[in-house]
C-alpha cells in the first residue's frame, strides 16, 4: 500500500503513482503606506496542495474502474483523510481535478528491414 485517500487505496493493482508533489502555502496581505514601503501582515496558513502523477498500464495496474472510483469520490465533493503507507497523516483532502492522457498503440505494427 502506497497511500490511502478515504477508502481508496493507492497500490500497484489500482492507481500507483510515480511522483508526489506536496506544496505548502501561507497567506500574507500587503498594506500600502504613504511615503513608505508597503508592509505585509501574516494571515496564517493557506491550503496545502498535493499532486500525484504516474502512468497507468491496465495490463499491469488498475484500469478504468480505479479511475472511475476516484471520479465518483470527487463528484461527492467530500473531504477524505489522506494517510501515507508509512503512517504519515496528511489530513483531510478534496479531489479538485483529475486529468488523463491516452496513447494509442497499434498491435499490428510491421517491421521493415
Give pLDDT tens digits for 80-99. 999 999 999 999 999 999 88
Which pTM does this prediction carry?
Answer: 0.70
Find the domain containing 68 and state its range.
3-93
In this structure, is residue 32 part of a structural domain? yes
- Residue 98 within any structural domain of the chain: no
Report if residue 112 sits inside a domain: no
Report d(CA 15, CA 61) in Å as an integer: 7
On whether residue 11 sits in a domain, the answer given is yes
Cβ atoms 42, 29 nearer than 8 A: no
Express as a percent the part of the chain with pLDDT over 90: 49
Residue 103 maps to a domain: no
Number of domains in the chain: 1
Question: Does residue 68 lie in a domain region?
Answer: yes
Q: Is the pLDDT of residue 109 over 80?
A: no
For the cut 80, the answer to whether the pLDDT of residue 55 exceeds it is no
Q: How far apart are CA 49 and CA 52, in angstroms?
A: 10
**Does residue 104 lie within any of the structural domains?**
no
Amino acid at each position: 500500500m502506497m497511500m490511502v485517500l478515504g477508502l481508496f487505496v493507492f497500490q500497484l493493482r489500482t492507481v500507483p503513482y510515480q511522483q508526489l508533489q506536496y506544496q505548502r502555502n501561507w497567506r500574507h496581505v500587503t498594506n500600502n503606506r504613504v511615503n513608505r514601503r508597503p508592509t505585509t501582515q501574516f494571515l496564517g496558513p493557506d491550503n496545502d496542495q498535493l499532486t500525484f502523477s504516474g502512468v497507468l498500464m491496465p495490463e499491469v495496474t488498475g484500469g478504468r474502474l480505479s479511475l472511475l472510483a476516484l471520479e465518483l469520490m470527487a463528484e461527492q465533493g467530500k473531504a477524505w483523510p489522506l494517510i501515507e503507507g508509512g503512517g504519515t497523516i496528511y489530513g483531510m483532502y478534496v479531489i479538485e481535478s483529475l486529468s488523463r492522457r491516452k496513447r494509442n498503440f497499434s498491435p499490428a505494427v510491421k517491421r521493415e528491414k
